[in-house]
Chains A and B, each alone.
Chain A
Amino acid sequence: MGDSGKPPRQPPREGPDPRWTIARREFGSLRKEKTILLALALQLFIAAFSSFLVVGLVSLYDPGQVEGYEVDVAVTGDAAGDLIRASREVRGVDAQFYRSEETALRAFHEYDATGIDAVLVAETRDERVFVRAVAPDSNVQTTVVVVQLRDVVRSFERAERADRAAYLDDQPLELPPEASSSPYFAFTYTVLLPLLLFLPVFISGSVAVDSLTEEIDRGTLELLRVAPLSLTDVVDGKLLAAAGLAPVQAALWIGLLELNGTSVSNVPALLALVAAMALLICGVGAALALLAPERRAAQFLYSVGVLLVFGGTALLPNGPVTAAARLAIDSAGCADYAAVVALVVTAVVAYGGVRRLVNGLDADDL
């Protein structure tokens, strides 16, 4: 903080809470350095990059997403008729009968003239049908072609199995109808939204660690002794500024997602979750900053701890990450609300712990 040389403020008699003063000063320094803009730009980049690429990925794996693209398949062999019939169930596939394997493969190699993307050779032997699928190697369309071939052969397998139903002990269940749904839908709620909600929390915690270690490092914490502030006030003010930023950013992202056509449910619960998480993480960060002797150690402990704890809680069935996804997609059960309440309680308890720790510390020793 470059403005540490400012004369200390007049002691407020009945004026605002000194903690607000500290928080305002923190905001001021964030604004002045324009770092908050960098953080927002970063989150925007993540959202844009991952969305764009997932859309790309989806179009590669689900040809239904690409309008007008059809996979032409040359079908040959003695079971070709059944296979062609089965292929009609699959969207985006045009199966054509070829008399022999040789002509089919020739058509496959003369792609430009025939438009054949793949070859299926179906031959019956020993009560089974052997299907040999030939797909082009290392080609941008390979994935789409393979996915389509799989769907054709799957549909064929279902039909063949139905013919042999008499020999089966258990009948396979009838498949529910196909739905034209984008796999991107689940991604938005389970990956993108939690990422956008919790990345600000992580950054806020870092800010809390930095702003405390920096005061210690530059020796400016001693100046605060002449101001009518206790160390607790200073830490409180810094926590307020850092932890207050995260829910605001989260609300901003939720608003942007809404504008983008992604409806987010249970917004108050989500914001409470983010706020509790932010208080908890910033509290842990502040405690580390006060206990660890140097910034490098504090930052390292903080980032290892937080990343692994985030990763670890993602494994829990009702961890903050999955709870956030279920709340946002409107599938929340009681357990998810309980998780939010538990997290709020944990955050408050942790905050109490940090206050006790700070009360026991002497600013001169830092």
Chain B
Amino acid sequence: MKRSPREHLSAIGRIARWEVSRSAGIVDRRTAILGAFALLLVGAVLGGGLLAGGVALDRDIYRVGVDAESPYHEPVERSVALDAREPSPDALRDGDVDVLLVDGELFVADTPKGRAALSEFRSSVRAFNFERMSAEENGSAAFPVVTVLQYVPRSASLPDDAFAEGDGEGGSGTGDGGDSGGGSDGEAAGDDDGGSASAGSSGGPLGVPALSGINPLSSGGSGSPADIQPPFPFGSLVLAFAFLVPMNFVVQAYGSTMLNERINRRGELLLVAPVSPGDIVAGKTLPYLATMVGVTALIALGVGGSLVSIAAVLPIALLFLAATFAGAMFARSFKELTFVTVTVSVFLTAYTFVPAIFANVTPIALISPLTLVVRDLQPLESVSPGAFVFATAPFALCAGVLFLLGTGIYREEDLFTQRAVPLKLLDALDARVSRPRDVAVLSGLSIPFVFVAELLAIAVLFALPVSLTIPLLLFVVALVEEVAKSLHVYAAFESGTFRRVPRVALVLGALSGLGFFVGEKFTAVAQVVGLPELALGQAAFAPSGIGVFSAAGLLFAPLALHVVTAGLTALGAMRDLRWYAGAFAVSVLVHTAYNLAVVTYLG
């Protein structure tokens, strides 16, 4: 049954309209009343909470024994995390306080908590001093030091005039000073070097609120060293999180409607209609995608994000939907679906949000599209096209592959059967393999997932010392790549798609290795953002021939490796699960050894 693209589009449109009208139908009066009640309750709780003093997870976690007469009583009272207690001499020994101040002497409990409390105490006294000095009349005595911070790019090739071209980047500004003589002075200091001392706080010209109440590192501008802010995009980060929150809710509804089709054979009618499974999936997904895009656009409008923000969030939205769709295809019950959606939500939220914290610090942050949003929201940052592709392409491709896999089992024999999630996954993989060359295609398609998994490994490991992490990382890389090259081969053998003879297994392994080798070349995008400059990035990507091999002869070394290891696992997969596991372990070892050799001798 061949149909024109127009017929496809009209079918998709029809299903989308039907999905919308059906979803609107479930919002009856009872739901509306319950919803209104929930909102009212939430409003009351939020209002009460805000009146009580805002977010403070660390409220009163340390106790300081300090006399009410002591000058240190006020800083303790003002600090959120510190709780002032009676300074009885026995309190420290009994464990009732963590820091004790009696007669000008300071006693600290010899525990991690005591040290943490002391460190908190120190910073609260510092903040208190700063406020006290701000109230002083003699400005030059209260703030004898005026500081300007500049960020200067350091290029080894231009030592002489690098400084001249390097400013204008903006820094933590001196501001205008609340004190009497500071205003003009701050300006004078800025003039020295071409006015590079522009205000660098997050409350920039693009209307990003400074959120100074929450940011522990920011405060008003006075030119005091206390104002220096390490580059930490706190405000933008909070706003970027706002993009993620609505997605968690949309995917819940989406997962439900997808699983609904599978319960009591409800989706059967739709399946026998003259539309393809792809049309059904596209039609049912469209309203939810549209909702997400609409909400994203609204949020972008609200927080001052540009089109870049929306374009960067779109792949995240797609991946949320795709993963939920695949989950709904695999799950057996609503309970299982809930676990799957919660897993997907938490994983994606963590994966996108946590690296974005490092947006200004390291290129690793670019593994998350949310980093682009954070950079977009900051006044002085911009997003390069290479960085954009690097951050968004893996997400978009993963989403595409997941939709492809899920649509493959959108057919009667799979929709209405109950099988465990791993078996369903194998079914979905097998559904895409009918000829030997499909094995190569599927290996290539696994690249986005491999890429994401390896980036995740880099992100998790980069904090540890390099000598420890590189071997560990190389092992993880080998593990991930071997899974990607062999799982669908195993699925195909299990379902009896291919004959279980060694010759077939070797051919499939070679094809799988070849497909993977070709797909791997696309990871060259990692070079665009300078990830290979990091030791770990280099270790992860060097074995695939990126950035290190210049000789043409060596170009095919990775191909040989992939063909050999994929052949090994295919031979194991041909027999049964136990053989597969054994062969898999051997090929991971071979792969790790190869990776180590490459990194040691050529890296």
Contacts and interface: CB of A to CB of B under 8 A. Distances in A.
A297 B418 CA distance: 25
Nearest to A117: B154
A38 B343 contact: yes
A249 interface: no
Contact of B357 (A53, A128, A138, A167): A53
B263 interface: yes
Given A149-B228, A181-B119, A131 B56 contact: no
Interface string A135-152: 111111011001101100
Given A146-B231, A218-B264, A303-B249, A312 B116 contact: no
Q: Which of B34, B232, B347 is packed against the most chain A CB atoms within 10 Å?
A: B34
Interface in A256-303: 288, 291-297, 299-301, 303
Given A137-B169, A143-B361, A169 B339 contact: no
Given A134-B150, A177-B122, A297-B26, A304 B249 contact: yes
A291 B252 contact: no
Contacts of B340: 38
A152 to B, nearest CB: 8
Interface string B247-272: 01100110011001001100000000
A115 interface: no
A42 B257 CA distance: 24
A203 B158 CA distance: 58
A35 B336 contact: yes
Interface in B169-187: 169, 181, 185
B477 interface: no
Interface string A162-180: 0111011110110111111
B225 A322 contact: no
A89 interface: no
B231 A160 contact: no
Nearest to B163: A105
A1 B52 CA distance: 45
A301 B35 contact: yes
B154 A132 contact: no
B41 A126 contact: no
Contact of B226 (A108, A154, A167, A180): A154
Contacts of A128: 140, 143-146, 185
Q: Which of A125, A126, A132 is packed against the most chain B CB atoms within 10 Å?
A: A132
B136 to A, nearest CB: 6
A137 B169 CA distance: 9
Contacts of A146: 149, 228-231
Contacts of B61: 186, 189-190, 325-326, 329, 331
A161 B354 contact: no
Given A2-B332, A293-B28, A46 B350 contact: yes
B29 to A, nearest CB: 10
Contacts of A156: 145, 225
A156 B152 CA distance: 23
Given A56-B462, A218-B263, A326-B61, A110 B146 contact: no
Contact of A33 (B118, B333, B342, B463): B333
A39 B115 CA distance: 35
Contacts of A55: 463
Interface stretch (A92-100, A209-217, A338-346, A358-366): A209-217
Q: How large is the interface on B (under 10, 10 to 19, 20 to 34, 35 or more residues)?
A: 35 or more
A34 B42 contact: no
B50 interface: yes
A160 B248 CA distance: 53
Q: Which of A182, A190, A315 is packed against the most chain B CB atoms within 10 Å?
A: A315
B520 to A, nearest CB: 26
B81 interface: yes
A127 interface: yes
Nearest to B355: A53
Contacts of B63: 331
Interface in B128-154: 128-129, 132-133, 135-138, 140-154
A239 B137 CA distance: 65
Contacts of B534: 140
B42 A309 contact: yes
A53 B460 contact: yes
A316 to B, nearest CB: 5
Given A49-B354, A303-B249, A161 B142 contact: yes
Contacts of B106: 176-177
Contacts, number: 383
A53 B335 contact: no
B60 interface: yes
Contacts of A129: 144-146
Contact of B230 (A150, A153, A194, A321): A150
B156 to A, nearest CB: 7
B551 interface: no
Contacts of A181: 112, 115-116, 118-119
Contacts of B332: 2, 33
Contacts of B335: 29-30, 33, 35, 207, 210-211, 214
B420 interface: yes
Contacts of B125: 173, 175-176
Contacts of A48: 460
B152 A135 contact: yes
Contacts of A330: 95, 113
B228 A133 contact: yes
Interface string B41-74: 1100110111011111111111100000001100
Given A110-B156, A157-B145, A147 B126 contact: no
B342 A206 contact: yes
Interface in A16-63: 29-30, 33-35, 38-39, 41-42, 45-46, 48-50, 52-53, 55-57, 59-61
B150 A133 contact: yes
Contacts of A185: 112-113, 115-116
A14 interface: no
Closest 8 CB pairs of A and B: A315-B49, A56-B463, A312-B45, A153-B225, A167-B141, A160-B144, A181-B115, A164-B141
Interface of A: 1-2, 29-30, 33-35, 38-39, 41-42, 45-46, 48-50, 52-53, 55-57, 59-61, 105-106, 108-112, 125-140, 142-143, 146-147, 149-150, 153-154, 156-157, 160-161, 163-165, 167-170, 172-173, 175-183, 185-186, 189-191, 194, 202-203, 206-207, 209-211, 213-214, 217-219, 288, 291-297, 299-301, 303-305, 308-309, 311-317, 319, 321-322, 325-326, 329-331, 333
Interface of B: 23, 26-28, 30-31, 34-35, 38, 41-42, 45-46, 48-50, 52-63, 71-72, 75, 81, 83, 95, 98-99, 106, 108, 112-113, 115-116, 118-122, 125-126, 128-129, 132-133, 135-138, 140-156, 158-159, 162-163, 166, 169, 181, 185, 188-189, 192-193, 224-226, 228-232, 248-249, 252-253, 256-257, 260, 263-264, 332-340, 342-343, 346-347, 350, 354-355, 357-358, 360-362, 418, 420-421, 459-463, 534
Given A156-B225, A175-B125, 7 more contacts: A52-B461, A128-B140, A137-B166, A164-B140, A172-B129, A175-B129, A213-B334
5 contacts: A131-B145, A138-B360, A175-B122, A194-B57, A210-B334
